[in-house]
């Protein structure tokens, strides 16, 4: 069975999903950081923001795979 979406449509949908995910992720990470991390020691704040700045990409691996399928 053939995919119902061509590569161009998958990339367009994937781009909108990516932008929505990033907006939500950044909002949540910044809110958690501003509400809770300000009371933490400096090293814990740095660790939180370093981890938050890296882990956002891992949930997107399946999205990128789907976007690039069937070129």
Contacts 24+ apart (CB under 8 A), 4-8: 7/69, 7/70, 7/71
Is residue 55, in this structure, part of any structural domain at all? yes
Domain span at residue 46 reads: 7-66
The answer to the question of residue 43 being in a domain is yes
Per the prediction, the chain carries an average pLDDT of 90
Would you say residue 2 lies in a domain? no
The answer to the question of residue 1 being in a domain is no
Percentage of the residues of the chain whose pLDDT score is greater than 90: 76
- Rounded Cα distance between 67 and 34, Å, is 34
Range 41-64 average pLDDT: 94
pLDDT at 71 > cutoff 70: no
Residue 71 lies in a domain: no
Per-residue confidence at 6, pLDDT binned at 50, 70, 90? Answer: confident
The number of domains in the chain is 1
């Amino acid at each position: 069975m053939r995919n119902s979406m061509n590569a161009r449509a998958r990339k367009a949908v994937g781009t909108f999903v990516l932008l929505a995910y990033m907006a939500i992720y950044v909002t949540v990470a910044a809110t958690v950081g501003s509400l809770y991390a300000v009371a933490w020691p400096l090293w814990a704040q740095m660790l939180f923001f370093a981890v938050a700045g890296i882990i956002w990409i891992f949930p997107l691996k399946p999205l990128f795979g789907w976007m690039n399928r069937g070129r």
